[in-house]
Amino acid sequence: MFNWYKLTFLLGFLVILFVLLVYDRPKIINDGKIELRLLANPPPGYEKKFEELLALFEKTHPNIRVKHNKAPGNYYIKVQTMMVGKTCADVVHFSGKQVNSFKIKDTLLNLMPMIKRDNYDLDDYFKVGLEDAQSTEQEVHYLPLEGSGTVLFYNKDLFDQANLSYPDDSWTWQDFQEAAIKLTKDIDGDGRIDQAGCVVGYWWAGAIPWIWSNGGNMVNTQHTKCLLNQPEAIEALNFILDLERKHHATAKSLGGTESAGVYENFASGRIGMIVALAYGLPMIMDAGKNSNIRWGIAMPPKGKYGRPIRYTSSGWVVWSGTKHPDEAWELVKFLNSHKVMKEYCFDNYYIPARKSIGLSPEFRNRPDTSFDENVLIQSLLASRPLDNIYALRSISSDFGIALDKARLGMSDIQTEMDKVVEKADAALNEHSSNNIATEGIDHD
């Protein structure tokens, strides 16, 4: 009996067969080349250029074909699933601070043997970039491409309006606090703050540099004890939290993490100062095109023991299960070569990981930028990466929640930190075998 429904269902079945068998055929390319898989997300707007760079690599290495895959959204979940399924890409773009979470002994290739074999010049790299992934003399699993330290962005127009002198190297925490208070205004008198004096990142990674600058630390050098509840740490945390709690010198919305619109708001003149990584530079430059604000960057204010500057970087790792380690190493060398790194960093306003580019006059005196690149290098040389130990994840998770509670006035920071330290010490002991103890930082 003829039945429209049966027909529809049959058609549907045929469509499925078609897609599975015809449309989805695996395209096997048999050209004898070695296929390298690269997982990297180029910055938005840079995709075409990146493909051109990869094409250049293929031209100079005719026996290799690069298959480039992107993973927007949750990048590290994709990396984890690929690793557990043993189908990971050969070369992966990684953030320095994630490297140690990945049990690098088991999952990432140690590049040191190849570095030694090829006489690769590691000295050309800023040391702090290699430290970001806790590299040592024998173990280098990560090669940084670009990285940045913390800087202080400030709005020159607002400073002029308030008759304040611009931030400079002599600024201390007190100067910073006073300026933030003076720059906070309720312009139209409606009881809501329209102009925020400053924005200080209230997430855990933004708070730790202030602790350093006050003489404290997240963990001790052997990575066996968490020091977040020590007086130096508490003092530093109270300082930045009071900016919001007591002095109301920050914008309400920018409490937890750096949310959308911070840099745009800065560019429209509603924020006086931002203490953040230099990754905000291209965004402020973009947003500032319409508003003609005058702005600059300076070093973050001095604390008792230094400035609150932390370093974060991104670069390349090679999967330890790769079938073509030498070719993968060639790709990494290419992507980090002088020429490619220079183009990549200049186009995207990143700070390169090589001294020969970063310290060059070309970089430090770029004509197309209104800010002083010297500050970027100065900040980088004074910076320090986070303690990227294996237990960082669980510690940072608790730390973040504790900060939130204290900032909202729900609890006192000392009691919260005591709780955090208790859990952190347990986590540190559990994972002590995974840590690579560093004996202090050897700066350039």
Partner 1 sequence: MIEKKKLRECAAGFLFILPNFTGFMIFTLLPVCAAFILAFYKWDILTAPQFIGLGNFTRLFTDKAFWNSFYNTLILMTGIPLSMAASLFLALMVNKSLRGIIVYRTLYFFPSICSGIGLLLLWRWIYNPDFGLLNVLLSYIGIDGPNWLGSVFWAKPALIFMGIWTGMGGTNMILYLAALQGVNPELYEAADMDGASNWRKFYHITLPMISPTTFFIFTMSIISGFQGSFDSVFIMTGGGPAGSTTNLSFHIYRNAYELFNMGYASSMALVLFAIVLVATLINWKYGGKKVTY
Partner 2 sequence: MSFNTVKKILLYIFMTILAIGMLIPFFWMVSTSLKDGNNVFEFPPKWIPNPIKWSNYAEVWEVVPFAAFALNSFLLALCVTCGQVLTSAFAAFSFARLNWWGRDKVFFAYLATMMIPGAVTMIPLFLLLRYLGWIDSYKAIIIPGIFSAYGTFMLRQFFMGLPTELEDAARIDGCNLWEIFWNVTIPLSKPALATLSIFTFLGNWRNFQWPLIVLQTSEKMTLPVGLAYFMGEHSTKWNLLMAGSLMSIVPLVAIFLIGQRFFVKGIQLGGVKG
Among 178, 264, 343, 418, binds partner 2 (CB under 8 A): 264
Residue 216: CB minimum distance to partner 1, A: 23
Sign of the CA dihedral with 14 first, then 16, 20, and 23 last: positive
Could you give the CA distance from residue 37 to residue 71 in angstroms, rounded to a whole number?
13
Phi, psi of 147, deg, nearest 5: -165, 170
405 interacts with, out of partner 1, partner 2, none, CB within 5 to 8 A per kind: partner 1
Task: Work out which of 87, 172, 224, 253 binds partner 1, going by CB under 8 A.
Answer: 253
Question: Of 57 and 204, which CB lies nearer to partner 1 in the complex structure?
Answer: 204
Q: Which of partner 2, partner 1, none binds 20 (CB below 5-8 Å, type-dependent)?
A: partner 2
259 binds, among partner 2, partner 1, none (CB under 5 to 8 A by kind): partner 1
**261 belongs to the binding site for partner 1 (CB under 8 A):** yes
Task: State which residue, 73 or 367, has the beta carbon closest to partner 1.
Answer: 73
Task: Report, in Å, the least distance between residue 39 CB and partner 2.
Answer: 9
Say if residue 235 is exposed, middle or buried (CB neighbours under 10 Å; 0-12, 13-18, 19+). middle
Query: How many angstroms separate the Cα of 55 from the Cα of each of 50, 52, 90, 137, 339?
Result: 9, 5, 17, 34, 15
Q: Which stretch binds partner 2 (CB under 8 A): 175-183, 247-255, 265-273, 416-424?
A: 265-273
Among 35, 61, 80, 372, binds partner 1 (CB under 8 A): 80
Task: Compute CA 398 distance to the chain's CA centroid, rounded to the nearest angstrom.
Answer: 20
When CB distances are held under 5 to 8 angstroms depending on the partner's kind, the choice from partner 1, partner 2, none that residue 102 binds is partner 1
Q: Please give the single-letter amino acid code of residue 443.
A: H
**Contact code string over 17-46 relative to partner 2, x by CB under 8 A:** --xx--xx-x----------x---x-xxx-
DSSP notation for 350-408? PPBSBHHHHTSHHHHT-TT-SS-HHHHHHHHHT-EE----TTHHHHHHHHHHHHHHHHT
Rounded distance, CA 160 to CA 155, Å?
A: 9
Which of partner 1, partner 2, none lies near 68, with the C-beta cut-off 5 to 8 A by kind? partner 2
Task: Note whether 109 binds partner 1 by CB under 8 A.
Answer: no
In 75-171, at which residue ranges do the beta strands (DSSP E only) sit?
91-95, 143-148, 150-155
The reply to whether 69 sits near partner 2 by the rule CB under 8 A is: yes
Work out the number of other CB atoms within 10 angstroms of the CB of residue 104: 22
Distance, in Å, from the CA atom of 132 to the CA atom of 219, rounded to the nearest integer, reads: 16
Question: What's the min distance (Å) between Cβ of 200 and partner 2?
Answer: 18
In the complex, least distance from residue 233 CB atom to partner 1, rounded to whole angstroms: 19
Residue with tokens 């002991």: 429
Number of residues that bind partner 2 (CB under 8 A): 55
- Interaction of residue 260 with partner 1, rule CB under 8 A: yes
> Binding to partner 1 by residue 410, rule CB under 8 A?
yes
97 is a site residue for partner 2 (CB under 8 A):
no
d(CA 437, CA 18): 57
Here's the x/- map for partner 1, 178-197, by CB under 8 A: it reads as ------------xxxx----
Cβ atoms of 38 and 68 closer than 8 Å: yes
The helix/strand/coil state of 30 is coil
CB burial string 179-196: b at 16+ within 10 A, e below: bbebbbbeeeeeeebebb
Name which of partner 1, partner 2, none residue 172 binds, using a CB cut-off of 5 to 8 Å depending on partner kind. none
Q: Does 229 bind partner 1 (CB under 8 A)?
A: no
User: d(Cα 251, Cα 223) in Å, to the nearest integer?
Assistant: 36
* Residues making contact with partner 2 (CB under 8 A): 1, 3, 5-6, 9, 11-13, 15-16, 19-20, 23-24, 26, 37, 41, 43-45, 47, 67-74, 77-78, 81-82, 84-87, 89, 260-261, 264-265, 267-268, 270, 279-280, 282-283, 286-287, 289-291, 314
